Amino acid sequence: HIVGHSLGGQMAGIIGREVYRRNGKTKKLPRLSALDPAFPLFYGTFSYHLSKHDAEFVDVIHTDAWIYGAPVSTGTADFWPNGGTTLQPGCPKRNYKLLSDNDLSSHRRSWWFWAESVKKEFPHQFYAVKAKNWADFKNGKYVDNEEQRVVMGHDCPTNITGDYYLQTNGIQPYARDIAGITYVHPAKLVGNSTTENEGVEPSKT
């Protein structure tokens, strides 16, 4: 199981493809987890980026789509906490100082989520539900039952496919457990003092 953030997420895909090639294209790595895999220079007509074919199961957590993170569904299962875009709850408004802590807050939030799912320091989990897009999630247009609920992060089941949505808090614990699959106004999220980004819906192609 290889886990990588940003450029490391894209490197995980490269490693997966190389392992597959060296095994005579008969055996893949069992799992790759990409945390907001890098967007710049990796997505375009002639670009080669992380894909669901790079391992038996590829799960992706998007938190800064269209800025530093991939704007498209690129795994077997893609998770879009808080819509997957900037600003993530609790992150400061960007001051446009490139690569500053302020600028990278949403991009880094993906690995904070992952770390919390690994440490299990808090009792709540990152429950998510499958939906067509963020707008449908916000409007409750999804099937909500125990079979449709999955966990984002380390304990993500490896038999799922598609796009999954949830909301998180703006401070630890980030996970909201079952409450995270019911949309609430961002101002009601614990630790969030920023306003929600109602920007471009990430592409699912």
Annotated catalytic residue 6: yes
Please identify which of the residues 5, 6, 59, 62 carries the catalytic annotation: 6
Reference 105, options 81, 83, 84, 88; nearest CA is 88
Helix (H) or strand (E) holding 115: helix 101-119
Annotated catalytic residue 107: yes
Phi and psi for 15 in degrees, rounded to 5? -60, -45
- CA dist 122 and 116 (Å) reads 8
Please identify which of the residues 5, 33, 36, 78 carries the catalytic annotation: 36
**Other C-beta atoms lying within 10 Å of the C-beta of residue 81:** 26
Both tokens of 149, joined, read 């609920």
Residues in the chain: 205
Please identify which of the residues 73, 78, 107, 117 carries the catalytic annotation: 107
Give the residue numbers marked as catalytic. 6, 36, 107
